[in-house]
Amino acid sequence: MLAGAVELAPTVGVAAACAALGVPRSSYYHAQRPEQPADVARSRPRSRQALSPAEEQVIRELLNSERFIDQAPRTIYATLLDEGYHYCSWRTMYRILKQDAATRERRAQRRRPTSTAPELLATGPCQVWSWDITKLRGPTPGIWYNLSVVLDIFSRKIVGWLLDEREDAELAKVLIAESYTREGVQPEQLTLHADRGAPMTSKTLSELLIDLGVAQSHSRPTISDDNPYAESQFKTMKYGPTYPDRFASIEAARAWMRWFADWYNHEHKHSGIALLSPAVVHSGRAAEVIATRQRTLDAAYAAHPERFPRGRPIAPQLPKEVGINLPRPQVTEPTTATPEPLPTEHPASRVSAAERPLDAGCSVG
């Protein structure tokens, strides 16, 4: 259309030709401009205030010298002023560095090594324990009590706890040793996971674990998600309706913790373990309780099948394995060449999303 407008313009005029063919007149006039050679430089004239190429080279060598290679331009600028030199402003130093693509972090900083995420797997009780320490408010501001809790990540049972006014490695040693003996753990059976607090990484506790044959595992530095089970248990405790705002004394805090641990282990229906109590799972009675629940559901289904439009209800199932930072299963994409036929599903075998077993990865209740 633009070429037609160019041919028609000498006969009927530019305005009429563009209007007839629907071509903007600006496009027409732009097409009439002579093309400039590609090698013609279109740069602004150099300012008389700008540094000469030789001066820029001196500053560039100064910035990259052994003395200033790890310093920021502002610091270099101030140092040179103190010594009686002024080459340019610190902003000009940044422009020169930008020309060389050298405006990254210039200061020498410590490069921390890359930490590997801990990967822990438990298929039964007393295989992986997780423990942590939290603060409980005392009677007045500034007074805190230190609560240490050891949790079995498979059964979610509190296998041991200790409450004291101080946070100490010797107390941690007593807590782990008593929990180990009470649960009847054997050497080379258990892995103990914790964060990198002082009691967790102390030499005192490390020597005890070596003597007991317990493997150690620690969270990565600055990563709070590596200890999810202990953190989830603390949230269940502190967000419950019975948790007090403050404890009148350490004896009162210990009394409340005894009640809470008993309730949590024997009455709390945990969403991560098929709505069973931790004590049931820890003692190996989960299959028996689930079978009893299933018989109840089967009886309800037989009496009123119309109330279950999705078919026979299935009781929540206990995860076969749980862990911390377990690798996600790789999903293989189906090939389009040989698609597999979809199986015919019987209505009675359908399970709703709410009734399926919880993911055995790292979900906690």
Q: What percent of the chain has pLDDT over 70?
A: 85
pLDDT for res 333: 57
Instruction: Break the chain into its structural domains and give their ranges.
Output: 2-31, 53-99, 120-279
Nearest CA-CA partner of 347 in 295, 292, 306? 306
pLDDT for res 36: 62
Please give the residue that has the higher pLDDT: either 224 or 323.
323
pLDDT range class, residue 362, cuts 50, 70, 90: very low
Helices (H), the chain: 2-12, 14-21, 25-31, 53-63, 73-82, 90-99, 169-182, 203-212, 228-238, 250-266, 278-282, 286-303
Rg (alpha carbons) of the chain, rounded to whole number: 36
Per-residue pLDDT at 258 exceeds 50:
yes
Q: In the predicted model, what is the mean pLDDT of residues 334-352?
A: 44
pLDDT for res 345: 42
Per-residue pLDDT at 71 exceeds 70:
yes
pLDDT for res 347: 38
pLDDT for res 1: 81
| Structural contact between residues 210 and 147, judged by C-beta atoms closer than 8 angstroms | no
Mention every residue, 6+ apart, whose C-beta is less than 8 A from residue 241: none
Q: In the predicted model, what is the mean pLDDT of residues 69-96?
A: 91
120-162 pLDDT tens trace: 999 999 999 999 999 999 999 999 999 999 999 999 999 999 9
Q: In the predicted model, what is the mean pLDDT of residues 215-242?
A: 93
Residue 119 is given by DSSP the state: -
pLDDT range class, residue 69, cuts 50, 70, 90: confident
pLDDT for res 41: 47
Other C-beta atoms within 10 Å of 332: how many?
6
266-290 pLDDT tens trace: 999 999 999 999 999 999 999 999 9
pLDDT for res 23: 85
Q: What percent of the chain has pLDDT over 90?
A: 63
Specify the range with the lowest mean pLDDT, choosing from 19-33, 66-80, 208-222.
19-33
Q: Is 130 left (phi over 0), alpha (psi -120 to 50) or beta?
A: beta
Rounded Cα distance, 258 and 266, in Å: 12
205-227 pLDDT tens trace: 999 999 999 999 999 988 878 99
pLDDT for res 351: 38
Distance from chain centroid for Cα 53: 50
pLDDT for res 150: 97
Specify the range with the lowest mean pLDDT, choosing from 104-108, 205-209, 223-227, 294-298.
104-108
pLDDT for res 265: 97
41-66 pLDDT tens trace: 455 677 778 888 899 999 999 998 98
The angle at the Cα of 344, spanning 343 to 350, to the nearest 5 degrees, equals: 105
pTM above 0.85, yes or no: no
Report phi then psi at 267, rounded to 5. -120, -30
Q: What is the DSSP string of 67-86?
A: TTTTS-HHHHHHHHHHTT--
Please give the residue that has the higher pLDDT: either 28 or 246.
246
pLDDT range class, residue 334, cuts 50, 70, 90: low
Tokens of 136: 């409980």
What's the CATH number for 120-279? 3.30.420.10
| Structural contact between residues 192 and 209, judged by C-beta atoms closer than 8 angstroms | yes
